[in-house]
Amino acid sequence: MIDTKLAANALNVAMHTEAMLAYWDRDLICRFANSSYLDWFGVKAEDMIDKMSISELLGDALYHKNKKFIDKVLEGVPQVFERLITTPQGITKSSRATYKPDIVNGVVMGFYAHVADVTPLDIPDAITKNSKGKNILLSNADVMDKVVHVLKSNMLSTFPGIGYLAKKHFISESKLKRDFKERYGKTIFSYYRSLQMELAHQYLVEKSYNKNQIAFIFNFSNPSNFSQCYRRHLLEKKAKDLYIGLKNAVDEKYKMFIGQAPVALAMIDNTFKFLAVSEKWGIDYNNSGELIGKCLLDTMPDAKFSDVNLLNHCLLGNTNVCDEIFQEKSDGAPGWIRWDIRPWHDAQGEIGGLLILSEDITKIKLQNEEYKIINKILNKTNEISRIGTWTRSIRTGKVLYNDVLKEILEVPFDFVPSSTISLDFFNDKDAKAKVDHAIKNAINNGEPFDIIVELLTAKGNTKKVFIAGYTEFYNGRCEKIIGIIQEVTVQDQVLLINK
């Protein structure tokens, strides 16, 4: 027998509790909703109970987000999840929903919904409480520390995103990016990658994981991307270790280290006076005299990094890196340099000055430019001389033709050659056998060759050509065969024979 008074009291408690309570039948029609549930969604009991479906109440977007939980609870599996919900008043609240199935004689008749407002528990990470229990805004440094904590928590998942971090810490995206860069000298994503690579290094060295395994653990879509990122990290770590070694470079030991460094390295104080320089610095910048105690701005006024605004910016705790810039040498010759300028700190942790790591890259730059010019000249020479070139990788079988060779063979410019070089264009058995023998002999024995044969172009034209080739061997194995094909006239043939 049901105690009607107890039932009435229970219903009264359920109706007026702060938690949202509802019951949805198997057809997803609301059969009960308490006052909190009705108030949250801004609906009346007479409009909702026994009439409204859960999809009508939640709307299409929120219903589809919750559908997987609804389907599971109707299968008899309890569900617990959290969700952001915007009320009819436009207020976004955090909720924690619990769906519990109503099972009668093994059949799911519907489910009970318990939704709690957990917004008060979801205070932004930029806010904390003081000793009196009042909310106070954290300092900028504390916010940055919390951002780093979130990044560390997500090292084995995915980058949380600037938008998420800004919202979580009650700060604009632009200010977050700016303040983080000023404090740590890196973008947020670069810092996140550094954290991952530090952990990856431990896995590789201490736990003997391979790079493919690490790439999977850190959610890299391509193992080669991880390898590239890890190599860059090791280079940065090497440079960082150097600067850590120089962090307290105020005594003679560190100054001696700088003096013997194999790179162009200088240490200046916060008035830009030299404290120590390496021998390489003097060679690169033709500073044969004593620099210690002299001002960088006075002794090297033409150096691109001798810019007071740039140096003052670094004294604020920033790093300045230039990968390449033109700077004419003292003798008027063209030159290029790159640099890395960052602050050093004294024993009290204060910025005592700057470390300037510089490198003269003129030789590398000129070699690159010279290579481009030579390559351009060779290509032009081949075009004028009507020399076709081809290469074949023995390992991959891939064959490449230049445009002149495609013209000689009368094939389209998008033609993709087979691994048989040009054997496809020799109808004459003797000519094909001659070319095939020469190529195989070159691959097997490293013998270069030059022969004259006739070929049949893609358009059916017969041409007499001069074919030459040579091979490249590594560790006793042929890796590549390279050659040329050139049309020859009767006069050319006589000259070749006489030669």
Per-residue pLDDT tens digits for 55-67 = 888 888 788 888 9
Q: How high is the pLDDT of residue 243?
A: 56
Q: Which residue has the higher pLDDT, 24 or 423?
A: 24
Burial of 183 (0-12, 13-18, 19+ CB in 10 A): middle
- Among the listed residues 96, 22, 19, the one whose alpha carbon sits nearest the alpha carbon of residue 53: 22
Confidence category of residue 369, pLDDT binned at 50, 70, 90 = low
pLDDT tens sequence across 266-299: 888 888 888 888 888 877 777 656 788 888 888 8
Q: Which whole number is the average pLDDT over 134-154?
A: 73
Identify whether the C-beta of residue 248 lies closer than 8 Å to the C-beta of residue 346: yes
Identify whether the C-beta of residue 294 lies closer than 8 Å to the C-beta of residue 268: no
Following DSSP, what letter does each residue of 214-269 receive, concatenated?
HHHHTT-SSHHHHHHHHHHHHHHHHHHHHHHHTTTTTSHHHHHHHHH-SSEEEEEE
Q: How high is the pLDDT of residue 53?
A: 92
- Among the listed residues 447, 489, 448, the one whose alpha carbon sits nearest the alpha carbon of residue 465: 489
71: pLDDT strictly greater than 90: yes
At residue 123, φ and ψ (nearest 5 deg) are -70, 135
The pair of structure tokens assigned to 447 is 């013998």
The pair of structure tokens assigned to 442 is 């070159």
74: pLDDT strictly greater than 90: yes
Confidence category of residue 136, pLDDT binned at 50, 70, 90 = very low
pTM value is 0.30
Q: How high is the pLDDT of residue 233?
A: 83
- Among the listed residues 248, 276, 277, the one whose alpha carbon sits nearest the alpha carbon of residue 263: 277
Distance CA 149, CA 201 (A): 20
DSSP 316: T
Q: Which residues pair with 340 in a beta bridge?
A: 321, 357
Q: How high is the pLDDT of residue 253?
A: 57
